[in-house]
Amino acid sequence: MKNFCKPRSIRLNRLSSSFLNLAPPFVLVLSATLLQAQSPAFRNTSLSVPYVGSATCGQSGCHAGINRQYLPTPHGQSMTMANIPSDLARVPQPVTVFNSKNNHYYTVSQKDGDLYQSAYELDKKGRKIYDIAHKIDYVSGGESVGYSYLYQVGPWIMQAPLSFYAHSKTWELSPGYVADDPGFTRVMTTGCLLCHNGQPDPIANRDGKFKDPPFRFGETGISCESCHGPGALHVKEMHEHKYKTLLPSEIDTSIVNPAKLSPRLADDLCQECHQAGDAQVILPGKSVLDYRPGTPLADTIAIVKRPIKPEQRAEANRLETNPPIRGSLEQPLWWKNSTLELSKCYTASHGRLTCSTCHSIHHAPAPGEEKTAYRAACLTCHTAQSCTLKPEDPKRTAVADYCVECHMEKRPVAGIAHSNDTKHRIVRYPGQPLPEVAFEQPAPDLPGLLWTNRPANEPDARMPDLAQLQAYFTAARRDPSLWPLWFRKLNDLSKTEPENPTVLASLGAIELAQVKDNARAAHDFALAIKNGSEDPITYLNLATALENLGRGPQAEGVLERAAAAYPWNDQITARLAQRYVQNGEGEKARKLVGQFRAVFPEDPLVREAAAHLDSSAGPDPSTLPSKTNPVTTH
């Protein structure tokens, strides 16, 4: 989960009158690695080089020492099996959480050395309507925010509705569940898992469905190869040249060494997971697994955000001192890279201040040593004399001369309860106005949006049109003023890429919802599926268009194909049950709904379908839940 991730008791450390002030002419002492501008050509960046797994890296005689040091770190423990002692210890007794919005009770408990989460609901007499439990398989997260829990239904990986929040030491609804509680049906996508598990092994075109085992080499945490790239070439050459010694001027190019990368490429390693945006778009022909350390992230993923408009400047500056609000102009705290880039420390270093200047992935500070480690990082550029407060000043002694306490405020994470995080914009004082770079406006080739990871030093770089289409679609759902740009881009692509499945599905959505041309919509949806679209929404929209044309049997066939591909999609299940009833196949409908509810009885849509099927008067097909309006395309 990217936000726990994404990513990911609240105490605000606001020292308005006790901020340490840095003298403007601070000293920069940049190491040789930091000053390095160019990257060697690492040869394992090719997609043809296989992975080998961290166990191979950690063998005796290779990197066993580093492996032992890395495994206990937050990245090494970013995902583990759920039945380890530390997880079981969080549930000495069952804990029940009630969601008053939907009357669901969720319980977490342990039994026979395994962790379980369950759901039930009570009728008016206090009797359980249903009671379903799922054994938890994996835990993801860390002590900085908390832990979320995952379980498998066959090859599908789902998120459980309860999370453990580290600061409050309480079990509560998982992030996002307060606004939208999907029960146990939230599918974990490859893109989300990739930021907690370095080796997910998904089934192609089935986001949320994984091979057996679901993670290559049995790895659960962030693997060595997540940052160093696939290791087969390095292993091969080390075996062939066991006793070769590199000269001081030589670099082993058989595997990526992040310390030898240019600052931009080094930060791309972190930006893949620690920098969100209003949209993250996979480039055409790519998958989220195609990114290789040592290559520009922009070759695989484009990250975009909405600009702060000139009339929003005062509001944006005001928000720098107010508690974060989800959806406001303030950049979310998990946008680490772009907030760091708003710092004078970053601009004064000309981009050479990188994530690794302060963070050592192999050697995370031991508990209790964090302040010493991060103060030392500040002093690689500044000096103790940079602080204009006298050493005996109470404002300085109150924070024990710890730079981060004053210049990188801890703030609540909007949308995640009981959590706070370090704001990576380094400021001189609280409420310091945003720098001019924060008000950057879009370039002519991408009106309305900022491409935050635009390739460096490539003035002619241009985001592919298909990626722009997806970026506008995602961002427009937050800012409707961007819809005209999406329509314009779609119109262009309908001429240049008329056979593309994304273009066809988008055109079909417009024809279905706005133009009301069901025949044309059905043609475009069917062609989108033929050309490779496997999006459940495309199947649902095609079924709707066919039903509107009176072609019920064909709609049923489409929904059966969709249900075979996505057996735990509630919209597909409810719609197919409706088709079966309309065709006089009530037993088929009951079997379908029963299979779904045996696993997810709390799902409201399929539960409503079951209620109609079980009514003594017999179901009226027109009243069965159909949700026939999912015309979104991505």
Peptide linkage before 24 cis (omega within 30 of 0): no
Residues 6+ apart with CB under 8 A from 235: 52, 56
Q: How many CB atoms lie within 10 A of CB 619?
A: 20
pTM: 0.88
Task: Give the pLDDT score at 38.
Answer: 65
The DSSP output letter for 419 is -
pLDDT tens digits, residue range 116-174? 999 999 999 999 999 999 999 999 999 888 999 999 999 999 999 999 999 899 999 99
Task: Give the pLDDT score at 200.
Answer: 95
DSSP result, 347-373 = HHTTT---HHHH--STTPPPTT-HHHH
Check: CB of residue 433 under 8 Å from CB of residue 441: no
Residues of the chain with CATH 1.25.40.10: 498-623
Q: Which two tokens stand for residue 278?
A: 């209003």
Q: What is the third-level CATH fold of 498-623? A: 1.25.40
Length of the chain: 634
Q: Which two tokens stand for residue 346?
A: 């970053």
Residues 6+ apart with CB under 8 A from 214: 152, 155, 157, 200, 201
State the angle between helix axes of 483-496 and 501-510 in degrees (0 to 180), rounded to the nearest 10: 120
Report CA Rg, the chain.
Answer: 27
Task: Give the pLDDT score at 420.
Answer: 79
Check: CB of residue 357 under 8 Å from CB of residue 36: no
Task: Give the pLDDT score at 221.
Answer: 93
The letter for the amino acid at 498 is: P
Check: CB of residue 617 under 8 Å from CB of residue 527: no
Handedness of CA 268, 273, 274, 279 (dihedral sign): positive
Task: Give the pLDDT score at 326.
Answer: 66
Check: CB of residue 571 under 8 Å from CB of residue 630: yes
The letter for the amino acid at 576 is: L
Give the chain's residues under pLDDT 50.
1-36, 616-617, 619, 621-623, 627, 634
